[in-house]
Amino acid sequence: MHSVGLLLPFLALVELVFAQLGQSSDTAGAFTDILLCNQTFSDANGTGVFTVNPNVDQGTQTDQPDNNSGKTRPVDLAVTLVEDRNTSRLQLTTWLNPRGANYSDDFGLGYDVCGMAFGPIPNNTQYRAQSDNGSCYSMLDEACVDDIKTLAQQFALELTLNPTPYPNSNLTVDSISTVCSDIAANLTSNLPKSCKNYFEDDTTVTEATPLTGYNSSILYANCYTNVSHNKAYYAIETSFVDYNNANYNLLGNIAAPILAIWMPIANAERPSTIQYATAELICAGIKHFNPGSKVAASLPSPTPVGGGGGLSGGAIAGIVVGVVVGVALIAALAAWWLISKRRKARSSAAASEATPAEKGGSDYSSTGAGPPGDVKMNEQTSPTEAPDTALSELPPSTFTRSELDTGKGVERFELPSEASKPVELPGSEAAVQK
């Protein structure tokens, strides 16, 4: 499968999924082949539109005349599936709508943006995507999503927050492409443990692409489509595959985890910039089929994964300790019962030789003090009959299960505390560096 233009999320994913499932694929040769150029999403067979707002500080935008908040507006990521009846192919295209923000002018925005995708994705994770609303909480889970976003923010800040001085700076006008690639490489080398149930051992963060910058943004180099309720959606990537029912059903259900990161401008000459990074992860796929279009048949249901519901090492250790203590207690009770039985046997033998007056005693000893529970001589005893030593209870100081409730010993993916929240330059009182 050959790429069409500069591919962001779906090409690598589609290649890998089709290779895994043995489906054939092909691609178009130019962006002029995108079927929805200058059309609307209503002309597609299926669509998926996902809206996020990074809520970062932003400079005044000419095409957002009513935006006086000093913050970003939401942006829309869309996926379209179109059947090309002339060539018997299916076209899957990814679009971005910045809602009037000029992504070619990062100096005017006050930030840079990178986009990237994850692959290969196991089939079971793709089956989980069928119930995902774009948040990735169903395809992955909340812990995995949060850890990916936190790591991405950390790596973005490490690469852009404090550039070396101009003119020999490590960040120049074209550095954003390298920064995006470095973030992807760092994520690939440090995929969170919380995501291990959802990715392959060879899953990588790929197709790292700058979405902003004078010479770097791909947003305006390709075709666009207009929709009535917003301004233009710009094509980021497109790919063709052979049309058949299996391919249609597959592309109508799979999703790509797409990561976008808003960060300080990757150029030491920046006049002002945000001093923090914000990441958003979207699991983007087809979620709506237009009237008259075939609705894709569902893929198999996913099998359960051993995610956060499993017991931790600390919890398992606590259970083992509890079992050991419980076994020891039962053994002690059994030993006591045997000793008590032998004592009763000896006592009975002595009683047979005693005077009638001696036989009248009902307690274990002449003092009236018996064994634990004040066991009577002529009663058959068992551990469950000892009123003061219940099997289900342990001495308070012997065993406690508090470790299971507090989470001690739970293995978690942790980052330096300062990396889990926006980082500001020393001494700054504003969100934008002047």
Mean pLDDT of 6-32: 45
pLDDT of residue 11: 47
Query: Percentage of residues in the chain with pLDDT exceeding 90?
Result: 54
Give the whole-angstrom CA distance, residue 254 versus residue 112.
29
Give the whole-angstrom CA distance, residue 182 versus residue 106.
19
Please report which helix (H) or strand (E) contains residue 149, including its range. Answer: helix 142-160
pLDDT surpasses 70 at 19: no
Judge if pTM exceeds 0.95.
Answer: no
Give the whole-angstrom CA distance, residue 427 versus residue 434.
12
154: left (phi over 0), alpha (psi -120 to 50) or beta: alpha
User: pLDDT for 337-348, tens place per residue?
Assistant: 445 555 555 555
pLDDT of residue 60: 97
Question: 157-166, 263-272, 339-348, 417-426: which has the minimum mean pLDDT?
Answer: 417-426
Give the whole-angstrom CA distance, residue 65 versus residue 63.
6
CB 191 within 8 A of CB 199: yes
Per-residue pLDDT band for 9 (boundaries 50, 70, 90) equals very low
Instruction: Note the maximum CA span of the chain.
Output: 117
Give the whole-angstrom CA distance, residue 301 versus residue 419.
37
Tell me the sheet residues that pair with 95: 78, 235
CB 105 within 8 A of CB 279: no
Give the whole-angstrom CA distance, residue 220 versus residue 231.
13
Amino acid at 114: C
* Average pLDDT taken over every residue of the chain: 74
**Range list of H helices, 353-419:** 356-359, 402-406
pLDDT of residue 407: 36
Q: Virtual CA dihedral for 20, 133, 101, 166, nearest 10 degrees?
A: -60
CB 138 within 8 A of CB 129: yes
pLDDT of residue 75: 97
Residues belonging to the chain: 434
Question: 85-89, 181-185, 214-218, 420-424: which has the minimum mean pLDDT?
Answer: 420-424
Tell me the sheet residues that pair with 240: 91
Give the whole-angstrom CA distance, residue 337 versus residue 256.
65
> 154-181 burial, b for 16+ CB within 10 Å, e for fewer?
bbbbebbbebeeeeeeebbeebbbbbbb
pLDDT surpasses 60 at 330: no
Mean pLDDT of 416-422: 41
Joined together, the tokens standing for residue 91 give 């076209």
Give the whole-angstrom CA distance, residue 423 versus residue 417.
11
Question: 155-159, 299-303, 342-346: which has the minimum mean pLDDT?
Answer: 342-346
Q: Tell me, what DSSP letter sits at residue 31?
A: G
Give the whole-angstrom CA distance, residue 154 versus residue 148.
10
41: left (phi over 0), alpha (psi -120 to 50) or beta: alpha
User: pLDDT for 181-191, tens place per residue?
Assistant: 999 999 999 99
Give the whole-angstrom CA distance, residue 110 versus residue 273.
4
What are the two backbone dihedrals, phi and then psi, of residue 31, each rounded to the nearest 5 degrees? Answer: -70, -20
Mean pLDDT of 376-401: 34
Domain ranges for the chain, please list them. Answer: 10-310+414-433, 313-351+372-406
pLDDT surpasses 70 at 362: no
pLDDT surpasses 50 at 395: no
Question: 165-174, 190-199, 332-341, 419-428: which has the minimum mean pLDDT?
Answer: 419-428
Task: Give the C-alpha distances (Å, rounded to integers) separating 67 from 1, 62, 74.
Answer: 42, 9, 11
